[in-house]
Structure formats: C-alpha cells, structure tokens
Amino acid sequence: MTNKASQGQCPVMTTTAGNPIADNQNSQTAGPRGPVLMQDYQLIEKLAHQNRERIPERTVHAKGWGAHGTFTVTHDITRYTRAKLFSEIGKQTDIISRFSTVAGEAGAADAERDVRGFSLKFYTEEGNWDMVGNNTPVFFIRDPYKFPDFIHTQKRHPKTNLRSATAMWDYWSQSPEALHQVTILMSDRGIPKAPMFMNGYGSHTYSMINAQGERFWVKFHFKTQQGHKHFTDAESTAEIGRSRETYQEALYGTIEKGEFPQWKLYIQVMPELDAEKTPFNPFDLTKVWPHGDFPLIEVGVLELNRNPENYFQEIENAAYSPSNIVPGIGFSPDKVLQARIFSYADAHRYRLGTHYESLPVNRPKCPVHTYHKDGTMNFNPPSPNPDAYYEPNSFNGPKQDEGYSEPPLKISGDADRYNHREGNDDYSQVRALYNLFDAGQKDRLYQAMGGSMAGVPEAIVQRALGHLAKIDPSYAEGVGKVAGVAVPRMAAE
C-alpha cells in the first residue's frame, strides 16, 4: 500500500467524491484469478467515466483547432457602432478562437480540401460577441431550407458509408447559387497550409448601430498577416501521408514558439437604406460586396498568443453562436444568418447541455443576470437575491434597459416563400473571381474541380459544365477536359 510520504510531493489520488484511493493498479477480486467484486466502486467509476469521455461531435465543423488571443482596436469606427469593444483606439478584448473543416468527422485529416470555419468569441464587458465565420466570404446556399440537404451531400452515403462525389455534384449542378463558393473551394485557397495562412470572413451581412441610433449594414474581413499559403491536391495528399494533424501541429507549435499569428480586421459599410439600391441583394450569402464600391475600412488587429491548457475544455467545449451579439452590433435580414441564430445555440444545447454558456470557456467575463431556472447541470452560483426569481418583482431583481433597444428595421415585406433561385445572377461575381486568376491558377482550378468529378455520372457532370460555361466558356472547357466529359453544345454556344 502506498501513502503520501512514499509518493513524495504527489497528492493522494481520490474518487470523484474525494475519497482517497489505495490501489489504482489492481481490481478487487474474490481470489487472485477473479472474479471481480461489484463493490469495487473505484473500478466501476473509472470505466463509467471512460464510457462518457466523448460528447456528440458537431454535425458540421467537427474537426477543429484553436487558441486564446487578444483583439486590439487600431482605428476609430465609433461613427458606425456604439459597441464598447470598439470604443477607443488601443482597447484590448480577450478572445478564444476555433478553426475547423466543415465536412470531416472529429478524426479527419487536417489538410483536406474543404471550407474552413473561422470562429471568434470576444469576451466584451457587455457580454460575448461571437463572430462565427468561414475562410470564404460566401457560402453554398442562400436559403437555410437547403442547409441540411447540402450538408447531407458532404457527409457519408447511407449505404456505402463513403463520401459521394456524385451526391456533391448532383446537388451543386442543380444549385447554381453554390458556384461562387465551389469555385473558391476548388481554387488555390481551397487547401490552406494551416489556420494562420488564411483569411476569415463574417460572410453574412451584419449591422452596426451607432450612438445616434443609426443603422449600417456591415461585412467583417480578417486578413491574414502571415500571407496566403496553400497546398495543391498532390501536396496535401503527401502532407496527410506525413501527418493527419498538421494544423494542430502548426498552430500549437507556432504559439508555443512565441510566434503569434495576426489578422487585421476590416469592415465594409453600407448605410441602411442603400441596401435597396445595390444591383444585387446585399443580404445574399452567395454574394460579396465589391471592394470598389464598398472599400475596406481598417479596425484592429487580432492576435493568437496562448495555447489552451486543456484542448477539450477550451476548444471542444467552446460554443460559438451568431445569436451572441453585443449592443452596437446587430443582425441583418440575411435568411441563412436568421436560421443560424437558432440552429447554432440549439446545436450546443444538444451537444453540451442546457447550461453550455456557463462552462468556463463560454462564460461571459461580465455579470450574467437571467431568470432561467434549474435544468441539467445547473452549477451557476445561487442568487444573492433569492426572492427575485420571476419578473416583474418587487425585490430589486434584474430589469430590462430600453437604452439598449435597436432602431426599428426600415425594410419590410409580405410574408411568403420567395423563390430564392429566381431573378438572381449566379454567374457575374464568379466570373469576376475567375478573371482574377492567372493561367496557372486557372489550370489548378480545372485540375481540382475536374478531379473531384471522378466517378460522377456523365449527365450530372454535363449539367455542372453547363453552369460553368455561363461563367466563362473556357472554365467549362478546362474542367471538362480534366473530367473527360464534353461541354454540352447548348452551354458552349
């Protein structure tokens, strides 16, 4: 039997209830050959905990990497927002970040071609602001009704349990609004070398409200200061052969070395009523706001400078939701944003439990005063004012403050199910991107996209090529050549 003295400075091991453990090597049995006694609670507790070590992985964005950091304001944007985190130059706010791939499971290889999640939680004095974005300024869908369908095409086939190129291209070729995102995904930026070498975008249109109560529509851009670095498909195959955990190695390693990655935050701003003047819907998640019309306005610097002490507690448990906004930052009519406001918080209630916002990594650094009561794992401290457990009350419980209200939205319409595929130009902005690529970039785009069509029925590939031809005939020709499928005549003309 060991005792504290024989263990030197080590504390005595205990059960979860704090009872000292005498033997952590040998189970308690009726004889040297067994059987095990049921009273060996320490063994039972150990096995029971192991069975519960995994929580449901995220349906999307399951594989992730992250770190703590700071955001520092470098430029004054108080004419657009009263958000306190932007109130003065030099102001710093602590953040926690999480980057991720979308489709792969928690054990997926890091360097796969996929969109990357780019999520930040700002611990402000007026509650948490979560910027739950991606490394691309657009997304595959503009109506949230299509999100589960789209994600099903990225996940495993119900019978083969394999990813299906046919499902992906069948869906994309019938959803031209996806082409902008698909082109970015298949371009050089489709496989960043590590999280430090990619941009982050809020992607959705959000709003800012200033001290005068004026609303502006806003896009958020985080530009990498490490430069863009990417793998080709061949390079990523070699990289995955070397290690499946290359992002974790790179991000963790660079911060441990004291080389802290940085991004500059910029915003694009549109006065509220100008939203009715743009030739495209500024709330459409498949569209960008051209820089020429909406120049980037510098705001500050994001720096990642501290690795988590415990990956599970600080990164896996981190729960980001676009519903977390602070006074001075608001939503927009963007339909996909509206759906995410519900679905992200709901996913965390399922994944982490009712009180997920009370976990240390999610808990705001400012006081929290709600009237929510009880529920599984409610470990919030008891109220110092126990009589005020409903509202309104006469016992000085927390009250609303109308000073935080937003101005009424000036945009409205008739409730209906509007056809999101009608009257939209799904090609011009993709063409603008395609025209930015030099010959080498175009060739790599053809290789990646044509390669991704291997095994896809010809009729589906032809349907996809028909859309690419509307972007640029050379795009369809280049991809068709790699896929070994002729561009349909109607589309090529």
Site residues (vs ligand NDP, CB under 6 A): 137, 184, 187-189, 199, 223, 288-292, 429, 432-433, 436
Per residue, what are the HEC states of 387-406? CCCCCCCCCCCCCCCHHHCC
Residue 134 appears among annotated catalytic residues: yes
Q: Helices then strands (H, E): number in the chain?
A: 13, 11
For ligand NDP, the closer CB: 179 or 251: 179
- Closest separation in Å from C-beta 175 to ligand NDP: 17
* Residue of 19, 26, 51, 61 marked catalytic: 61
Nearby residues of 63 by Cβ (< 8 Å), 6 or more positions away: 100, 101, 104, 105, 106, 107, 108, 110
For ligand NDP, the closer CB: 185 or 460: 185
Q: Which residue type is seen at 441?
A: Q
8-state DSSP, 13: P
For ligand NDP, the closer CB: 218 or 250: 218
What are the CB-based long-range contacts (under 8 Å, 24+) for 26-32?
none
User: Could you tell me if 129 and 85 are in contact, meaning their C-beta atoms sit under 8 angstroms apart?
Assistant: yes
- Closest separation in Å from C-beta 146 to ligand NDP: 20
The overall longest dimension of the chain from CA atoms, in Å, is 86
- Closest separation in Å from C-beta 189 to ligand NDP: 4
For ligand NDP, the closer CB: 137 or 327: 137
- Closest separation in Å from C-beta 187 to ligand NDP: 4
* Residue of 134, 199, 281, 362 marked catalytic: 134
- Closest separation in Å from C-beta 441 to ligand NDP: 7
Instruction: Using the structure block, give the residue that is written with the tokens 């441990």.
Output: 256
For ligand NDP, the closer CB: 191 or 352: 191
For ligand NDP, the closer CB: 197 or 356: 197
Nearby residues of 36 by Cβ (< 8 Å), 6 or more positions away: 27, 28, 29, 43
Q: Please name the helix (run of DSSP H) or strand (run of DSSP E) that holds residue 171, with its range, or none.
A: helix 165-172
For ligand NDP, the closer CB: 199 or 254: 199
3-state secondary structure of 220: strand
CA nearest 272: which of 355, 224, 209, 223? 209
CA nearest 117: which of 178, 62, 188, 164? 62
C-alpha 301/C-alpha 254 separation (Å) is 18
Residue 61 appears among annotated catalytic residues: yes
Structure tokens at 407: 């101005």
- Closest separation in Å from C-beta 117 to ligand NDP: 16
Q: How many CB atoms neighbour CB 114 within 10 A? A: 21
- Closest separation in Å from C-beta 13 to ligand NDP: 52
Residue closest to ligand NDP when measured from CB atoms: 433
3-state secondary structure of 71: strand
Cβ-in-10-Å burial (0-12, 13-18, 19+) of 370 comes to exposed
Query: Catalytic residue numbers?
Result: 61, 134
